[in-house]
Chains A and B, each alone.
Chain A
Amino acid sequence: MAHDHSKNGEHGEHHDDHDHSHLDEMELKVRTLESLLVEKGYVKSDALDAIVETYELHVGPRNGAQVVAKAWSDPEYLNRLRLDATAAIAELGFSGRQGEHMRVVENTPDTHNMVVCTLCSCYPWSVLGLPPVWYKSAPYRSRAVIEPEKVLAEFGVKLEEGKSIRVWDSTAEMRYLVIPERPAGTDDWSEGMLAQLVTRDSMIGTGLTLNPRDLS
C-alpha cells in the first residue's frame, strides 16, 4: 500500500507536496462524509469524539508496558497471563475491542517472537492501541513471514546467534502481546520504572527493550 506517510522514503520534496494536496482532498472528503452520516442519523458526532479520545488518551502501548512490567515482577501474575491472558490483562483494567482473546508470547534466550497480520491489520488494541502505519503496510505484512531476520534488521534488531524466530500470523481473533526479555541489571527496579523500558515495538517483536542505562 502507498507509503504516503513516510518521511524517510526515497521520494523527497516533490512527494511531500503531493502529500499535502492529497491530505486536503481527504480532509474534505471525510468532513463531507461525517456531515452526511450525522444528518442521516447514522452516527453522533460526540460518539466519534469519544472514540478518538479513547485511543488518543486511554488505550495505547503504555497499557501493554504495564502488563509486561507486572509479568516481570510478579511470577504469580505471569502464571495467570500464561493460563488466561485476557483475564489477567483485564485485572489491570485493559479489555475490550480487539483484545477479546489475548495470548502472551514470551521471549526467552532461545526464542524471539514477532507478530504480524498478513491478511489485514489485526493488532491487540486493548494493550497497544491503534497500529502504526508500517504494521499495516505491504512490506511488513508480506515479508515478516518469509524473511523475518531481514525485517528485524530494518528495525535495527540483530538477534544473538542461534536464537530462533517464531512469527505469529494473527489470522483469526486471537491477539498476541510479546513479553520481551527482562533487561539485566534491573533486579531492584519497581514496576513503574520497568514499564519505562518497554517500547511498543518490543511488544510486537520488531524491537527490544530500552537499555536500563539510557533511563538512569
Chain B
Amino acid sequence: MNGPHDMGGMQCYGPVNPEVDEPLFHGDWEKRAMAMTVAMGFTGMWNIDASRFKRESLPPVQYLASSYYQIWLAALENLMVERGMVTMGELSSGRLEVPPVATNRTVPDAAAVVAGLAKGGPTSREIGVQPKYSIGDEVRTSALHPDHHTRMPRYARGKNGRITHINGVHVYPDSNAKGEGENPQWLYTVEFAAKELFGTGSHTVRIDCFEPYLQGTEK
C-alpha cells in the first residue's frame, strides 16, 4: 500500500537532528508502550506483518504527527479492538465493559518473556523449490503498486538491479499480513545504482527483495 510509512526518497522532512545524549526512553510511558507492544505479540493474536500493516494503515496525518511509540500504541489499540479484545470505551475509560477473549497463546510471565526474547522468531522456512535467480543475475523489480502490505519500497519499483545475495526462504509478508498464511518465498539482496533509482548520485542501495517482487531482464 502506498502510504505515509514508505518514506524512501522523500525530500520534505528536513534535517535529521539526532538528539545529543539521547536517553533510551523519554519518560516511563515509552517503556511501558514498548513493553506492552512486545508482550501483546506473545499472545499470538496477530503476526509481525499484520502489526506492521496496522501501523502503516493509520491515517497519514496521524502517522506523520506521531512519535514512533505513539504509532506502536495506536496500532496496538486498533489490533485489539478489531479482534474484540478491548472496546473503544474501555480504552478511553480504562473500565472493563466486556469480558476478555481467549488468547491464541498463553500470556507469558516474566521468565517466559525473557526466554521468548532470547529465542526470537526466525522467519526462515524450508520449501522444496530452488531459487529462480543466482548471484550476479540482472533483475527488474515489479512496477506494481499493491494495495496491501508489501516490503517492496516505492522508490525501487520498476528498477533494474543485480542480485548480490540469496538469503534463504522466508515468510512472505505480503501474504502473512493478510492472514493468508506464510507462503514462504526466496529472499534476495538486490543492488541498485543511485542513478537508476533517482537519476543521480554515485552511491548504491541494497534492498532485500522477495522472489515475487522480481523478474529477469533480457540478456
Which A residues contact B (CB, under 8 angstroms)? Answer: 1-9, 23, 26-27, 29-37, 39-44, 46-52, 54-56, 59-60, 95-101, 103, 116, 118-121, 126, 129-130, 132-134, 136-149, 151, 154-155, 164-174, 206
Could you say which residues of chain B place their CB within 8 Å of the CB of A140?
16
A146 close to B9 (CB less than 8 A): yes
Q: Which of B67, B90, B114, B194 gathers most chain A CB within 10 Å?
A: B67
B17 close to A136 (CB less than 8 A): no
A27 close to B91 (CB less than 8 A): no
A6, A27, A130, A136: the one contacting B19 at CB < 8 Å is A6
Measured as residues with beta carbon below 8 angstroms from the partner, the interface class of chain B is 35 or more
Selected A-B contacts with CB under 8 Å, 8 pairs: A1-B66, A2-B67, A8-B17, A95-B119, A118-B7, A139-B14, A166-B191, A172-B209
A55 close to B24 (CB less than 8 A): yes
**The 4 A-B residue pairs with the shortest CB-CB distance in the complex, in nearest-first order:** A118-B8, A172-B208, A142-B10, A50-B110
Question: How far apart are the CA atoms of A49 and B66 in the complex, in Å?
Answer: 25
A35 close to B94 (CB less than 8 A): yes
A120 close to B86 (CB less than 8 A): no
B26, B34, B151, B205: the one contacting A145 at CB < 8 Å is B205
A32, A40, A103: the one contacting B96 at CB < 8 Å is A40
Question: How far apart are the CA atoms of A46 and B112 in the complex, in Å?
Answer: 11
Q: Is B146 an interface residue (CB 8 A)?
A: no
B100 close to A41 (CB less than 8 A): yes
Question: How far apart are the CA atoms of A126 and B96 in the complex, in Å?
Answer: 37
